[in-house]
Amino acid sequence: MTPRAAGPMTLAQLSSGRRAVVAGLDGGRRLLARMVSLGFVPGVEVVMVQNPGRGALIVQIREARVALGRGEAHRILIAPARLPA
Amino acid sequence: MSFSGPAEIKVALAGPPNVGKSTVFNLLTGLHQHVGNWAGKTVERKEGTFPYGRTSFRVIDLPGTYSLTAASPEELIAREFIIRERPDLVVAVLNAALLEHGLYLVAELLSLRIPVVIGLNMMDVARKEGLAIEPGVLSAALGLPVVPMEASSRGGIKELVKAIAAAAEGGRIPEPQRPVIREDHRLVLDRTGRLLEGTDLEPYPRDWVALKILEGDEDISRKVAAAVPPGRWEEILALLKRHDDALVAVASGRYAWIERMTRAALVRPQTGPISLTHRLDRWLTHPFWGLLAFAAVMAAVFSLTYALGIPLQGFLEKSVIQGLQGLVGGWTASSPWWIRGALVEGILGGVGTLLTFLPILILFFGFTALLEDVGYLARSAFVMDRFMHAMRLHGKSCLPLIISFGCNVPGVLGTRIIESTRARLLTMFLIPLIPCTGRMAVIAFLAPLFFREQAALVAIGLILLALGLLFATGMIGGRLFFRQDAAPFIMELPLYHVPHPRTICDLVRRRSIEFVRKAVVVILPVSLAVWALSRFPEGRVESSYLAGFSRALEPAGTLMGFDWRLMVALFAGFIAKENSLAALAVLFGAGEGVALGDLIVSAYPPAVGLAFMASQLLFIPCAATVAAFKQESRSWRLTLFNVAYLFILSAAVGIAVYQAARRIL
């Protein structure tokens, strides 16, 4: 695992095909409510399906596919995924 | 102890979007349905009944929601209904392939202390995704009845009805497992609950109110702040201050509960499934290929719609409407001119002609409903997202804009899917710039007259002009309206699946009925009024009020090369866009052997024709769209501003096109 230099990573920085665990959420109440109802809570594993580097991206969370804007993805903090058992 | 069941059992149908809830509703209630709106809202309310044994069940279809947090009007409606109307039970329709997702809503429902029956739909989809689900195990874990279903092939409906009836009989449902809240927040929750003691919170349950305050629910907080004794709300706020992460913590608690509930019942595939969705999305959401696919899909939809729809429209207009006009004209031959005119030209010519566009609309709605049902429409919102950002909107705004190519009215109504009010208003503002089938009909008629072989090129150029202006308007409007992006873009991409004809027919039917209702309720009086203006006082167009008005505007019209007849035609489009043609036919006295086309071509040079097509494309929206705009925006000011904006824009473009074209052509 490569150590990251500065600050926590956000979902927007996760490249396609990579896994991570949600570490925290940040945002207004409405955005938070929307995020948690679609499954984004600390501890949940996400797989980046498609992150073209700019614009909206797609993640797999549990069984669902969720599209979200880059701005929104920047508000989701992530940590390295647990190693597969 | 029951000697006869209660006369009527009230059942609410809840569930997230894309779970086949309306299919379940249709299967339960059949034709015994009533469709209306939720009081004071523009969200559709569907209600129906079905009998079972000696009991009648009334089913209310709640709007599709992921949760009950009041983050959208739909969520607020769903929870207010459950709290205020106290249905006897709630059926939660879930997508088995997204079980954990759906159970989030169930967790929220359970905190309202209402009996819940789970309809676990799309078991077939879950199987295809490689998921193994044991409904019996899930039911035992939850302590709730769980009915496996495949509603698209009617599977499980009988069992669901039985489960509903059993639950309604009061056959003792064991106390269900409810989510618990984390220890450190538990304390705050209890203290908040105690601070609410002695306050009348009817009809809201106190512990639920405490939970919602902890979650920071704006609606409930406002209500409680107004209800508690002075000073108490400040106490509550002080208590909550150190727990601003409570919303996420409460949600985490629910997911932990979901995890426990599904641990034994749900087996995921060992290898990462390369599902159909995964394979298709590799292309369809690709930054480049996805865009190309979108363009191809849209091109196919439009060419099919017009290739099949235009002949049908022509047939209806020629044989049905003109036939009826002949019949009615014959019956009323001896009545005064204005009775005959009102019936033949006002009603049949206005509303009747508009209704001939129904086949085109049905085709277009059919294709878009198909795309929506198989799951593609959400992808188109995704690939278009980056373009929408230039207008400070996001992908979801793309969907009502696409619908608007069929007809602006359902497009305006379709803006309801956008959560943020301001983004919704801006999208609505842009919709009239989308060329609808009515306006395209005018262009389809005029372009070949003036430009022969280049007609298609001219038509495409005009559409691109309208879309370019839409984009420019959106860029400016977005910057004036919003400091940053208007609304968060976060949406579920449903799994692709085989289309369900029933769901598609239902969608098409609803959108078509909306259109027909508008045509009759709004357009009938308006088209009579405009007809009257174009005939009174003497019964002749040339000396009518409308002609007088248009003549007064003729000096402005000359800048576009228009004479008063073209001005009348432009304004007549206010009834319905294709009415412009009908007006020209009346003004030129076309009929008996003289084709309107020949008369028009000999009257105007191509530059005038082009300017007319451009300005009618952008001219003020038709009456039905204006009415829908007012209804949805709830603002006369914005509605009138929209009309004024399009009026000025259309005049400016008309002048520019004419002045440029007459030098070139």
Query: What distances in angstroms separate CA B531 from CA B246, B303, B335, B528, B588, one per listed residue?
Result: 62, 34, 18, 5, 16
Which chain A residues are closer than 8 Å to B490 by Cβ? 31, 34-35, 38, 66-69, 72
Of B104, B129, B488, the CB nearest to A37: B104
* B415 within a domain of the structure (yes/no): yes
Cα–Cα dist B9/B2, whole Å: 14
Does B338 lie at the interface with A, CB-CB under 8 angstroms?
A: no
CATH number at residue B21: 3.40.50.300
Cα–Cα dist B302/B285, whole Å: 21
B373: tokens are 């049902």
Does B74 lie at the interface with A, CB-CB under 8 angstroms?
A: no
pLDDT(B527) > 60: yes
Which chain B residues are closer than 8 Å to A73 by Cβ? none
* Pairwise CB contact (< 8 Å): B382 & A34: no
Name the β-bridge partners of B132. Answer: B267
Cα–Cα dist B125/B278, whole Å: 14
pLDDT, tens digit (0-9, with 9 covering 90-100), for B230-248: 888 898 888 887 777 788 8
pLDDT(B544) > 90: no
Cα–Cα dist A35/A29, whole Å: 10
Does A29 lie at the interface with B, CB-CB under 8 angstroms?
A: yes
What is the full per-residue pLDDT of chain A (85 aa) written as tens digits? 444 445 689 999 999 999 999 999 988 877 888 899 899 999 999 999 999 888 889 999 988 999 998 889 999 999 998 765 4
Q: Give residue B520's pLDDT band: very low, low, confident or very high (50, 70, 90).
A: confident
What residue of A is the nearest CA neighbor of B380? Answer: A67
Of A29, A34, A69, the CB nearest to B385: A69
Of B248, B493, B495, the CB nearest to A42: B248
Of A27, A34, A55, the CB nearest to B385: A55
List of residues 6+ apart from B464 with CB closer than 8 A: none
Tally of CB atoms within 10 A around B327: 12
The fraction of chain B above a pLDDT of 90, given in percent, is 31
* Pairwise CB contact (< 8 Å): B98 & A27: no
Most confident option among A8-17, B384-393, B524-533: A8-17
List the 32-61 stretch of A: residues with Cβ below 8 A of B: 32-39, 41-44, 49-50, 52, 54-56, 58
Q: Give residue B274's pLDDT band: very low, low, confident or very high (50, 70, 90).
A: low
Cα–Cα dist B633/B652, whole Å: 26
Does B490 lie at the interface with A, CB-CB under 8 angstroms?
A: yes
Average pLDDT over residues B616-641: 89
Tally of CB atoms within 10 A around B61: 25
Average pLDDT, chain B: 85
Does A85 lie at the interface with B, CB-CB under 8 angstroms?
A: no
The 3-class SS string of B279-305 reads HHHHHHCCCCHHHHHHHHHHHHHHHHH
Average pLDDT over residues B166-173: 72
The enclosing H or E element of A67 equals strand A64-68
Among B267, B484, B489, pick the best mutation site for testing chain A contact (most A Cβ within 10 A): B489
Tell me: do B70 and B152 sit in the same domain: yes
* B223 within a domain of the structure (yes/no): yes
Q: Tell me how close the Cα of B350 comes to any Cα of chain A, in angstroms.
A: 44
pLDDT(B591) > 60: no
Q: Tell me how close the Cα of A33 comes to any Cα of chain B, in angstroms.
A: 7
Query: What distances in angstroms separate CA B525 from CA A74, A82, B342, B343, B351, one per listed residue?
Result: 52, 67, 11, 12, 10
Query: What distances in angstroms separate CA B14 from CA B74, B89, B98, B173, one per listed residue?
Result: 11, 10, 15, 19
List of residues 6+ apart from B265 with CB closer than 8 A: B133, B134, B135, B137, B138, B141
Tell me: do B196 and B298 sit in the same domain: no
Return the axis-axis angle of helices B232-241 and B218-227, rounded to nearest 10°. Answer: 140
Does A65 lie at the interface with B, CB-CB under 8 angstroms?
A: yes
Q: Would you state the pLDDT for residue B466?
A: 96
Of B130 and B120, the one with more pLDDT: B120
Q: Tell me how close the Cα of A1 comes to any Cα of chain B, in angstroms.
A: 22
Which chain A residues are closer than 8 Å to B492 by Cβ? 38, 64-67
Say which DSSP state B93 is in: E
Interface confidence (ipTM) of the complex:
0.89
Domain ranges of chain A: 9-80
Q: Judge contact between B438 and B622, C-beta under 8 A.
A: yes
Most confident option among B33-47, B369-383, B453-467, B489-503: B453-467
- How far does chain A reach from its first CA to its final CA, in angstroms? 16
Tell me: do B364 and B255 sit in the same domain: no
How many folded domains does chain B comprise?
A: 3
List the 77-106 stretch of B: residues with Cβ below 8 A of A: 97-101, 104
Cα–Cα dist B332/B346, whole Å: 14
Which chain A residues are closer than 8 Å to B98 by Cβ? 62-64
Of A33, A43, A69, the CB nearest to B489: A69
**H-only helix segments in B432-500:** 437-451, 455-481
What is the CB-side half-sphere exposure of residue B140 using CA atoms within 13 A? 8
Q: Would you state the pLDDT for residue B522?
A: 67
Which chain B residues are closer than 8 Å to A63 by Cβ? 97-101, 129, 131
Average pLDDT over residues B238-262: 86
* Pairwise CB contact (< 8 Å): A36 & B67: yes
SS3 content of chain B, % helix, strand, coil (to 5): 65, 10, 25
Which chain B residues are closer than 8 Å to A36 by Cβ? 67, 247-248, 251
pLDDT, tens digit (0-9, with 9 covering 90-100), for B636-659: 999 999 999 999 999 999 999 999
Which chain A residues are closer than 8 Å to B251 by Cβ? 36-37, 41
Tell me: do B444 and B593 sit in the same domain: yes
Cα–Cα dist B349/B325, whole Å: 8
Of B98, B99, B382, the CB nearest to A67: B382
Of B329 and B160, the one with more pLDDT: B160
Tell me: do B194 and B158 sit in the same domain: no
Write the burial class of residue B179 (CB in 10 Å: 0-12 exposed, 13-18 middle, 19+ buried): buried
Does A80 lie at the interface with B, CB-CB under 8 angstroms?
A: no
Q: Tell me how close the Cα of B277 comes to any Cα of chain A, in angstroms.
A: 10
Q: Is the link from the previous residue into B537 a cis peptide, with omega within 30 of 0?
A: yes
Cα–Cα dist B12/B19, whole Å: 16
Of B66, B218, B382, the CB nearest to A29: B218
Tell me: do B223 and B319 sit in the same domain: no
Cα–Cα dist B526/B103, whole Å: 49
Tell me: do B99 and B239 sit in the same domain: no
Q: Tell me how close the Cα of A2 comes to any Cα of chain B, in angstroms.
A: 25
Of B267, B285, B305, the domain-final residue? B267
Cα–Cα dist B494/B505, whole Å: 20
Average pLDDT over residues B302-312: 83
* Pairwise CB contact (< 8 Å): B69 & A33: yes
Does B219 lie at the interface with A, CB-CB under 8 angstroms?
A: no
Cα–Cα dist A76/B341, whole Å: 65
Which chain B residues are closer than 8 Å to A31 by Cβ? 488, 490
Q: Would you state the pLDDT for residue B601?
A: 87
Of B142, B168, B194, the domain-final residue? B168
Tell me: do B248 and B339 sit in the same domain: no
Which chain A residues are closer than 8 Å to B131 by Cβ? 63
Among A34, A58, A68, A72, pick the best mutation site for testing chain B contact (most B Cβ within 10 A): A34
Cα–Cα dist A56/B599, whole Å: 53
Tell me: do B504 and B393 sit in the same domain: yes
* B448 within a domain of the structure (yes/no): yes
pLDDT, tens digit (0-9, with 9 covering 90-100), for B44-95: 788 999 999 888 999 999 988 999 987 777 888 899 999 999 999 999 999 9
Of A37, A44, A71, the CB nearest to B66: A37
Structural domain of B244: 183-267
Tell me: do B70 and B196 sit in the same domain: no
* B429 within a domain of the structure (yes/no): yes
Which chain A residues are closer than 8 Å to B99 by Cβ? 63
pLDDT(B581) > 50: yes
| pTM for this prediction | 0.81
* Pairwise CB contact (< 8 Å): A58 & B493: yes
Give the torsion sign (CA, B435, B378, A77, B216): positive
* Pairwise CB contact (< 8 Å): A31 & B488: yes
The SS3 assignment for B45 reads: strand
Does B372 lie at the interface with A, CB-CB under 8 angstroms?
A: no
CATH number at residue B228: 1.10.287.1770
* B242 within a domain of the structure (yes/no): yes
The fraction of chain B above a pLDDT of 70, given in percent, is 94
Tally of CB atoms within 10 A around B8: 12
Cα–Cα dist B87/B164, whole Å: 12
Architecture label for domain A9-80 = Roll (2.30)
Which chain B residues are closer than 8 Å to A48 by Cβ? none
pLDDT(B662) > 60: yes
* B283 within a domain of the structure (yes/no): no
B537: tokens are 């006082």
**H-only helix segments in B196-231:** 206-215, 218-227
Q: Would you state the pLDDT for residue B2?
A: 43
Q: Tell me how close the Cα of A6 comes to any Cα of chain B, in angstroms.
A: 24
Between vectors from CA B564 to CA B562 and to CA B567, what angle results, nearest 5°? Answer: 70
Strands B89-95 and B8-14: parallel
Q: Would you state the pLDDT for residue B465?
A: 96
Give the torsion sign (CA, B28, B31, B36, B39): negative
